[in-house]
Amino acid sequence: MDEKKRTEISELGEFKLIDRLTANFKPIQATSVRMAGDDAAVIDTGNQYTLVSTDLLLEGIDFDLVYTPLRHLGYKAVVAGCSDIYAMNGTPRQLLLGLGVSAKFSVEHLEEFYAGVQLACQTYGVDLAGGDTTASVNGLTISITTVGSVDKEKIVYRSGAHVNDLICITGDLGAAYMGLHLLEREKRAYAGSDSPQPQFQGHEYILGRQLKPESPRSVLEALDHAGIVPTAMIDLTDGLASDLLHICKQSQCGARIYLDRIPIARQTYDMAEELHIDPVTAALNGGNDYELLFTVPISRQEELFKLGEGIEVIGHITEERTGVALTTPDGDDIAITAPGWK
Amino acid sequence: MDEKKRTEISELGEFKLIDRLTANFKPIQATSVRMAGDDAAVIDTGNQYTLVSTDLLLEGIDFDLVYTPLRHLGYKAVVAGCSDIYAMNGTPRQLLLGLGVSAKFSVEHLEEFYAGVQLACQTYGVDLAGGDTTASVNGLTISITTVGSVDKEKIVYRSGAHVNDLICITGDLGAAYMGLHLLEREKRAYAGSDSPQPQFQGHEYILGRQLKPESPRSVLEALDHAGIVPTAMIDLTDGLASDLLHICKQSQCGARIYLDRIPIARQTYDMAEELHIDPVTAALNGGNDYELLFTVPISRQEELFKLGEGIEVIGHITEERTGVALTTPDGDDIAITAPGWK
């Protein structure tokens, strides 16, 4: 590794890094409908589009095996993969699993992991269609490739949001993040202890959201049933702020979201208060909620409301020049800017 | 990670491990043509099959950045991905790249890597269609997802070999392995030196095979042109022994290959001699040659020979009960058995 000029990745941030690395790539294949910039690659396979996404989950970054049961991790890996396909309004159908496994893992450990994978595959109706298991030096490396399909007229990109579209989210936000903080606190409290007795009572919801998240596919089914195709969509994995910025960047628009409209669960509030964390910050920057952020034309507002629970309108799309901002109950606008490199 | 019963992965070996982990998975989706057991997953997308494969390359296991230029590594990652698609007689078309990057890497490092990816994408006609770049704790993690297509009547599985079929390989074997040994020797010789001057002259071929391998797609084009569809195929990544066993297991057959038919390049012989390594062992167990091993009905022998260079017939398929063996020039059979966990 030569060291002539050195630009830290953190100087660029995630957005600009990918732009810079992929700037010179020009499509060759006629079947490549979309290159980078969405949750999944879009490939024209005749009557339908085939969607392919890839996720990398690394021990020590994306999960901590001190408090993450391998069965839950397997389940979550599948949900993470399916989430990318749902974000394109598609149906996940096949999954390929790559595992790098260090010597600390036994066959029984992998069986636990695969039990979680299998349960999630059954829940979401996907087939484990292939993969690769190899040795690793350090810990567990998981790569998930998810393949799905979508009718051509129903595909949703990040780039389709228009001025005045309603900004909607499914479920509530920040719960996975507060669950993570709780797990980290109990880990610190019992570090070195042979008989840890973590205090989890009353926190089942936020723990579940962290350890065994689910995709809100029922909302997609309800939208489809009502004949509503979102204009843009993304899954909430980086946090509301970052994911909204992705939509606005790809759609070349601005956005206003309202602080008091962001749905935050009771348990999320309580844990945030206990840990002296701003619950709105948890919702904006927490990530890993696996909910969906999508936009819908304002003309469909009434039909949207009829769909009932599970969808919250938190703001609307604006002109690009107005930027992306969070409006407080006092009417102040707080600019939402590009996140750094995590 | 509970520790009730502990079976080491090495006790099972790679073959049995995957079998055991995936034994309970039953297909759900009608479009899942093939589950595990081939180089790529096979998905029915209408007129054609879509092929999807995934590979994981881990620093410290699959590559050593002391002697692997990042540009070469990027190139090799793409070749590794394309190789899986060629092994199904398909055409690679899109690629998704997942990178886990630790703090030791700069933007310039990643640009080097992407330059190699781009060159290989142009060479093999594939589009970088998506991916994911995240932080990692330790070194560089690369996941490559390759998407290809194949006409339904031309797909080749590992499972189609029949008794008396000819066993063919492209190119020559063991070169990548000897290139790796040379690089490791020079690394040891100059460990701690500020101005290493490794001795690589005269070894360009084996170094090239290790650092910048190519897929023998021209052979597939020649076979296709001659109207020959192999009965079974696999890419030579684990080594001839292991990959032949895969074919025999999936095809429920045995095999005889002849020691003096295994093509080994002059430079491979020379380096093996210098390092006191048996060149046949390098060919059998070395791996990473990215050549193809395939079987062809004996009735096509004449047409096969007309194709000329680049294809070597090294043996033939036998009944399952006769096992898999290497026949020496003296007529002795040496059994080829399942490899362990690397």
User: Does B51 lie at the interface with A, CB-CB under 8 angstroms?
Assistant: no
Does residue A13 carry a pLDDT above 60?
yes
Where is pLDDT greater, at A100 or A15?
A100
User: pLDDT of B255-272, one tens digit each?
Assistant: 999 999 999 999 999 999
Please indicate if any CB of chain A lies within 8 Å of the CB of B130.
Answer: yes
Of A24, A114, A130, the CB nearest to B54: A130
- Residue B35: partners with Cβ closer than 8 Å, 6 or more residues away: A127, A128, A129, A130, B22, B25, B27, B41
- Please tell me the distance from the alpha carbon of residue B190 to that of residue A245, in angstroms, as a whole number: 49
Residues 54-93 of chain A with CB under 8 A from chain B are 54-56, 58-62, 65, 70, 93
* Nearest C-alpha in B relative to A40: B130
**Contact criterion met (CB < 8 Å) for A9 and B96:** no
Chain A contact present for B138, CB below 8 A: yes
pLDDT at B132 (0 to 100): 80
Q: In terms of CA atoms, which chain B residue is nearest residue A49?
A: B45
Q: What is the CA radius of gyration of chain B?
A: 20
Chain A residues close to B136, C-beta within 8 Å: 58, 60-61
Strands B127-135 and B91-101 turn out to be parallel
Distance of CA A83 to the CA centre of its chain: 7
Mean pLDDT of A268-287: 93
In this prediction, residue A18 carries a pLDDT of 82
pLDDT tens-place string over residues A231-245 = 999 999 989 999 999
Q: Which strands sit side by side in the sheet containing A127-135, from one edge to the other? A: A32-34, A41-44, A48-58, A141-151, A91-101, A127-135
Q: Is A53 part of the contact surface with chain B (CB cutoff 8 Å)?
A: yes
Q: Which residue has the higher pLDDT, B19 or A282?
A: A282
A 243-282 → B contacts, CB under 8 A: none
pLDDT tens digits for A50-65?
Answer: 999 999 999 999 999 9
Considering only CB atoms, B6 lies closest to which of A53, A106, A145, namely A106
* Among the listed residues A205, A216, A226, the one whose alpha carbon sits nearest the alpha carbon of residue A294: A216
pTM: 0.94
CA distance B177 to B163: 31
How much of chain A, in percent, has pLDDT values that exceed 70? 97
Q: What span, in angstroms and rounded, lies between the C-alpha atoms of A57 and A199?
A: 27
pLDDT digits (tens, 9 = 90+) for A142-152: 999 999 999 99
Q: Which of A100, A127, A149 sits opposite B58 (nearest CB)?
A: A100
Please report the pLDDT score of residue B112 as a whole number.
96
Length of chain A: 342
Report the C-alpha gap between A197 and A15 in whole angstroms: 41
Question: Residues 6 or more apart from A62 whose CB is under 8 A from it?
Answer: A56, B134
- Determine which helix (DSSP H) or strand (DSSP E) holds B313, and give its type and residue range: strand B311-318
Helices (H), chain B: 9-22, 70-86, 107-124, 175-189, 204-211, 217-225, 240-251, 266-274, 279-285, 301-306
Flag whether pLDDT at A2 surpasses 60: no
Write out residues 96-125 of B within 8 Å (CB-CB) of A.
96-101, 104-111, 114, 118, 121-122, 125
pLDDT score, position A96: 95
Is A255 in contact with A166 (CB distance < 8 Å)?
no
- Please list the ranges in chain B whose pLDDT falls under 50: 342
Q: Does B237 touch chain A (CB under 8 A)?
A: no
pLDDT of A133 above 60: yes
Per-residue pLDDT at A342 exceeds 60: no
Place of tokens 């062809």: B296
Q: Would you state the pLDDT for residue B191?
A: 86
- pLDDT (mean) for A76-89: 97
Q: What is the dihedral of CA B159, B165, B170, B176, to 10 degrees?
A: 60
Q: How far apart are CA A338 and CA A341, in angstroms?
A: 10
Between CA B254 and CA B337 the distance in angstroms is 11
HEC-encoded secondary structure of chain A:
CCCCCCCEHHHHHHHHHHHHHHCCCCCCCCCEEECCCCCCEEEECCCEEEEEEEEEEEECCCECCCCCCHHHHHHHHHHHHHHHHHCCCCEEEEEEEEEEECCCCEHHHHHHHHHHHHHHHHHHCCEEEEEEEEECCCCCEEEEEEEEEEEHHHCCCCCCCCCCCEEEEECCCCHHHHHHHHHHHHHHHCCCCCCCCCCCCCCHHHHHHHHCCCCCHHHHHHHHHCCCCCCEEEEECCCHHHHHHHHHHHHCCEEEEEHHHCCCCHHHHHHHHHCCCCHHHHHHHCCCCCEEEEEECHHHHHHHHHCCCCEEEEEEEECHHHCEEEECCCCCEEECCCCCCC
As a whole number of angstroms, the distance between CA B325 and CA B317 comes to: 10
Collect all residues of chain A within an 8 Å Cβ-Cβ radius of residue B8: 106-107
Q: Is the pLDDT of residue A38 over 90?
A: no
Q: pLDDT at position B2, please?
A: 52
pLDDT in the model for residue B247: 96
Mean model confidence pLDDT for chain A: 92
Contact B125/A58, CB-based, under 8 Å? no
pLDDT for the residue B340: 55
Which is more confidently placed, A340 or A10?
A10
Give the model confidence (pLDDT) of A174-192 as tens digits. 999 999 999 999 999 888 8
Tell me phi and psi for residue A17, to 5 degrees. -60, -55
Q: What angle do CA B128, B134, B139 make, to 5 degrees?
A: 100
